[in-house]
Amino acid sequence: MMDRRRFLTVGAIALAAGLGLSAPAAAQESVKIGLILPMTGPFASTGRQVEAGARLYMSKHGDTVAGRKIELLLKDDAGTPDQTKRTAQEMVVNDKVSFLAGFGLTPLAFATAPISTQAKVPTIVMAAATSSITEKSPFIARTSFTLPQASVIIGEWAAENGIKKVVTLVSDYAPGADAQKWFASAFTENGGEIVEEIQVPLRNPDFAPFLQRVKDASPDAVFVFVPSGAGAAFMKQFRDRGLGEAGIRLIGTGDVVDDDILNDMGEAALGTVTAHHYSVAHDSPENDAFVKAFKAANDGMRPNFMGVAGYDGMALIYQALEKTGGDTDGEKVMEAIKGLAWTSPRGPISIDPKTRDIVQNMYIREVKSVDGELYNVEQETFEAVKDPAKEG
Ligand code: PHB
């Protein structure tokens, strides 16, 4: 019975192929993208931003590419790796997705990488930013950023701008370790000194005791990495502990002053200098159009760097499918992704063909009040920065 059914199926496929039916049949099937994001829990702001960016791209560019309809399947992983992995598995096996995408935190991307490899499913990391993620599977590409990209730029800037002693304060997980390591090496190679290294818990951190340690060390500046969303609680404690009044400057990667929450941080945020790849205040026609459309579609919500990476993640998928003529074969799609280059709202970007990681401008920005709102105003541009952790 089994054999006979198998024979019939094989026969039917062979017949369809012989009659030239397989191509049009495939063309009618939609391409499914499994978007897995933290939509609940402490990192829900990341999920909300990435989803909004991805949906905006689709609403601007339509839901058909190379003759194939695109279908976005969104699932909430609440920011927990077990759930991300289980969801990815279900999406590959049951929903037959052609892409996995999203990944709001590094551990969630790490948990999924073996599935990407086994199933040969192109996996687009739109948020997580530990350098090594793209090395965990040849089927991973990234549209967010890497912590070394941002940390080296601000490390050099600090050493060149009169900052001599720094305390580093980072969330205690992989991207925090990347930020600490690459900031410290750039800063000390250029003459700076790290006086203390502090790790704070990732979940529900109470920053107060750690900021007291920073104050007691009285450095010229504190370098900070906390993931998107955590900056509000950090800034409140920075103000309440009087670090600014004590003459301690705040520098970091741009995550601590993310545009989604910056406006509510108040005066304590003014003067914060960070290195990052996206500011809502980026001055370009592409960004003006993006910000207007994003706000209009999301009740006035400002896009942050997560929103733009969701938007660009969809841009990457669309362009790859155009190149393959709608073919979703994992290996062909990954070949098509390598070397893609386009103008994002953040500036020119490309996918490094060797590493599948993003190459992009990094900007030094300072928080300023413009027309009564707080913005990360870009002051200096470093062009086409590759992930320094993968160079050489
Ligand atoms: C990460 O977990 O990789 C991550 C999350 C949020 C950020 C940056 C990195 O803002």
Q: What is the pLDDT of residue 28?
A: 60
pLDDT for 204 equals 86
> Among 46, 103, 106, 259, which residue has the most ligand 1 atoms within 8 Å of its CB, making it the best to mutate?
106
The answer on 75 and 39 residing in a single domain is: yes
Whether residue 270 is found in the same domain as residue 376: yes
Residue 372 and residue 241 in one domain: yes
Question: Which ligand 1 atom lies nearest to the CA of residue 175?
Answer: 3
pLDDT of residue 167: 98
Distance CA 239, CA 25 (A): 61
Q: 3-class DSSP state for residue 298?
A: coil
Q: In terms of domains, do 268 and 212 share one?
A: yes
Do 182 and 305 lie in one domain? The reply is no
Q: What is the pLDDT of residues 175-204, one digit of tens each?
A: 999 999 999 999 999 999 999 999 999 998
Q: Which domain holds residue 73?
A: 2-145+285-356
What value, to the nearest 5°, has the Cα angle with vertex 105 and ends 244 and 265? 25
Per DSSP, the residues of 186-222 read HHHHTT-EEEEEEEE-SSS---HHHHHHHHHH--SEE
Low-confidence stretches of the chain (pLDDT < 50) are 1-26
Are 125 and 84 in contact by the 8 Å Cβ rule? The answer is: no
Q: Who's near 278: CB < 8 A, 6+ residues apart?
A: 254, 259, 304, 305, 308, 309, 345, 346
- Asked if residue 368 and residue 338 are part of one domain, the reply reads no
Number of domains in the chain: 2
Rounded to the nearest whole angstrom, what is the distance from the C-alpha of residue 114 to the centroid of ligand 1?
20
92-114 pLDDT per residue, tens: 999 999 999 999 999 999 999 99
Ligand 1: lining residues by beta carbon, under 6 Å: 105-106, 127-130, 175, 227-228, 255
**Dihedral angle over CA of 173, 178, 181, 185, nearest 10:** -170
What stretch of H or E contains 334? helix 330-337
Distance 158 CA to ligand 1 centre (A): 22
Both 244 and 375 in one domain: the answer is: yes
* 180 C-alpha to ligand 1 centroid (Å): 14
Indicate which atom in ligand 1 lies nearest the CA of residue 108: 2
Report the SS3 class of residue 357. coil
Predicted local distance difference test score (pLDDT) of residue 392: 65
Structure tokens at 163: 């900052």
* 19-63 pLDDT, tens digit each: 444 444 445 689 999 999 999 999 999 999 999 999 999 999 999
107 & 165 share domain: no
pLDDT digits (tens, 9 = 90+) for 132-144: 999 999 999 999 9
At residue 308, the pLDDT reads 98
Mark whether 193 and 54 lie in a shared domain: no
Q: Rounded to the nearest whole angstrom, what is the distance from the C-alpha of residue 379 to the centroid of ligand 1?
A: 24
- Output the CA torsion sign for 138, 139, 142, 143: positive
Q: Which atom of ligand 1 is nearest to the CA of 107?
A: 2
Residue 92 alpha carbon to ligand 1 centre in Å? 25
Q: What is the CATH number of the domain that holds 131?
A: 3.40.50.2300
Residue 345 confidence (pLDDT): 98
Task: Give yes or no: residues 60 and 169 share one domain.
Answer: no
- 219 and 127 in a single domain? The answer is no
pTM of the model: 0.93
pLDDT of residue 17: 39
Q: How many CB atoms sit inside 10 A of residue 285's CB?
A: 9
